Each structure stands twice: as structure tokens, then as C-alpha cells.
Amino acid sequence: MSLIDFAKNVDVLKPFSELDVLLLYGIVSPWLKGFLHGREIATKIHVPGFRNLLKRGTKLEPLYIEEMIEAIDVDFIKLRSKHHLREVKDKLSDKQIKIWRYFVSRKKVEFFYATNREFGRTITRVYFDVDRGENTTFEQALEVTKSFLENLKTSSLMDFTKDILISWTGNSFHIELNLKEEQKLSFYNQYITTREDAETKVKKLVEETAKQVSVKLLPEHERAENAITIDPSQTPPGKLDRVPLGCIHLDKNTHEIDGVSFPVKEEWLYSGKIAELITLKPQDLIANLNKFIPLEKFFISS
């Protein structure tokens, strides 16, 4: 039985009564193949009362999306619901053991990847996080996203850009540029960074956008109360990004799952459709994947 057929009759987050996000991530993995090809998977594991655990290819054997597509099936997920890894290692493939270590069972695990791979000095993708500070709203994040995107599309950065991907994170928006050619890391320092001492194209675009929106907008890395920030700092090699389809989002105060990521058509930002979709929960996403088909139009093969 396919994962998606199985998910029609169960809770996608608790397929065998126990919490296990791997069914959700197994279902979306084939749609992520082009987008994540060659980029190491990473996960953030929420451990109540402790610091979040980060699993990534600099600390463990690297994990790739093709391995997830191949190794995640219903039997594997069922086994995870009844056992700890050490009890059933002899029944698992090497790929399944590796996946289990990244996606711990019975925990809330967020699905990330290395934006421009874990190692190296070049980039093929530029990332912008429209980050909501305390006391800011979805409507304000949407306003900033639209205005920044419009300014970005008329800037000289488009000379370097092949495609743009917009995604909803479960709480706000990400914008990613797929570059026409691989660039040295100096490209990021020359054009993209918004650090305090920088005078880059992007920093000027953020400052221009700040004059056009009704909310306080900053070119910062850290969240600021009553303000939204545009943060590109997860662009360089070794930095991580949330996958744009199916990643759970946790409320920063309650740590409950309050949303799920999905790719966004640009016209949705203006039609009001995005306001209907931001309340999607993981089960809703799986039941309505047809809303995002053909997904290939959102995703970039690299």
C-alpha cells in the first residue's frame, strides 16, 4: 500500500496511535526530489524541557531525499510505533537506520535541508526569511512579502536569477532565488547580506520596502518585537532552511504544531487564496495535495 493511500484512513501524525511525523514526510518526499537533490537533509527535534536537538550531515552520515523516497514505507513506520531503534536494527536497512536517527520517533521533528549544501564556498540559491517578531500579524507579513517581492523583481538581482520560489512556513513566508549560475560566496557578501556594516543591494531593497509598508521592517537576523525582519543569513553553505512542503511548524510558546509549510503561487498573494490556506494542518495538506499540483512548477531542479 502506498503511503498516501494508507494516510487516507489514519491520523497522518499518529498513524499507529503514537506520534510519528515520518508518514507525513514520507508522503511529501517524492515531490521534494528535484528541489532537494544533492542537498543534505537536516532535522530539528523538539525535546520538552530541553534544548532542541539538531541532526545534520556535519555530525552524522549525510542523508539525501532519494534515500527517504526509497526507504520509507508503511511497514517501517509501523515498526517505529512499537519499538526503539536498538530493538529492531537487525530488521532494518542501512538507509532506514539512518533515517530513524534523523527523524526520531515519538517526537516533533521539523524537516530542514542545507540551503547551499553543508560544505563549500559557492551558492546556487539565495534565501530570504520574512520573519515575524512578537505582536506582528499574518496580514503584515503578507504586506511585506508582496512589497519586497515587487522590489526584488525589478532589481538588478534578477540578472542573476533563474526562478523564484515563495513558500508559507506555517507562520510566515520564505522567498528563494534559484540562480542562473553557481556563484562564489563573495556574491553573497557583495549583494545579499544585511549585516549592520553592509551596504548591499538587498539591504537597500529592504530599506526601500520599509518605506512602503505599514509595519516596522528591519534588515536584521534576530527577531525584533513589533517588527518584521527580512533575513538572508541562512544562504551561505552550512546554513539550513525549512523544506517548502510538509514541514510542521511549532508555536514558539506552546510548542504545539500550529501549521505546515507549502509552496505558494504568486497570484495567491493577491487573490486572497493564501488566507484560506494558511490554516492548513498536516492532515489537510495531505487531503488537498491537488491544490498544489503540478508541484513541479514550484520546485527547482538543480
- Return the biggest CA–CA distance within the chain: 61
Per-residue pLDDT at 147 exceeds 60: yes
**pTM, 2 dp:** 0.95
The reported pLDDT for the residue numbered 198 is 85
Cα angle, residue 195 at apex, residues 222 and 168 outer, rounded to 5°: 50
* Residue 184 bridge partners (DSSP): 122
- Selection from 114, 76, 118 nearest residue 97 by Cα: 76
The cell for 139 is: 496580514
Average pLDDT over the chain, rounded to an integer: 93
CA distance 153 to 155: 6
Amino acid letter, 128: F
The reported pLDDT for the residue numbered 295 is 57
CA distance 203 to 253: 30
Per-residue pLDDT at 222 exceeds 80: no
Cβ burial, residue 231 (10 Å; 0-12/13-18/19+): buried
| pLDDT category of residue 298 using cuts at 50, 70 and 90 | low
The reported pLDDT for the residue numbered 297 is 58
Query: What residues does each domain of the chain span?
Result: 3-116+241-259+279-297, 122-236
CA distance 88 to 201: 53
For 69-86, how does the pLDDT look when each residue is reduced to its tens digit (9 = 90+)?
A: 999 999 999 999 999 999
HSE (CB half, 13 Å, CA atoms) of 291?
17
For 183-205, how does the pLDDT look when each residue is reduced to its tens digit (9 = 90+)?
A: 999 999 999 999 988 899 999 99
Per-residue pLDDT at 181 exceeds 60: yes
Q: Which fold has domain 122-236?
A: Alpha-Beta Plaits (3.30.70)
